[in-house]
Amino acid sequence: MRGLIFTELLTMAETTMGEDAVDDILDELPLSTDGAYTSVGNYPGAEFLAIVSAICLKTGAIIDDYLQRFGSWMMSRMSQTHKTFFADKDDALEALEAVDGELQAEVHKLYPDEIVPNLNTKRIDENAIEMTYHSDRSFSAFLLGMVQGCVDFFGQTAEVTAIELAGGSPGNAAFQVRLKG
């Protein structure tokens, strides 16, 4: 998993818990680099979940809620670091349809062999898309947060509804994003 995810998670945690609390968590967990993450590194995904769990345990937050908040945070950071990506998009749906390509490029530019879970989108109509997230990790909450962050960025509102996948597995999730108003 890209180190950027770790450094952003820790930055977000610091804004709410403070640096010391974050340091304590990192000290307590058995982490590969003793919690010294760099945004350009690549680290085991399990460590990410361990950190999130530890934060939630300490703050009393629900893990899915926390992941959703983090998804929103990441989208908001992306809107600052990838201004050109957003500049030529007319609305949130257009950005969400293109975001998979951008994520793949971000990961592969440093780690060409890394497997990145696909984020597939399908256009339903002018105001709605369906997003399917194939992953062996439960990231639908994170993704929901990203969608929310994206919709917020464009100043739009949207209704996101989960779709039951036929024979669905825990690693697969799908939902529909429908713009409102």
Q: How many residues bind other proteins (CB under 8 A)?
A: 16
Please tell me whether residue 40 binds other proteins under the rule CB under 8 A. yes
Stretch that binds other proteins, among 32-40, 146-154, 156-164, 171-179 (CB under 8 A): 32-40
Lookup result for tokens 């709605």: 128
Please tell me whether residue 117 binds other proteins under the rule CB under 8 A. no
Among 11, 18, 105, 114, binds other proteins (CB under 8 A): 18
**Touching other proteins, residues 75-114 (CB under 8 A):** 110
Least distance between other proteins and beta carbon 109 (Å) = 10
Cβ atoms within 10 Å, residue 119? 20
Burial group, residue 166, by CB count within 10 angstroms (0-12, 13-18, 19+):
exposed
Range 59-75 burial, b when 16+ CB lie within 10 A, else e: eeeeeeebbbbbbbbbb
Please tell me whether residue 118 binds other proteins under the rule CB under 8 A. no
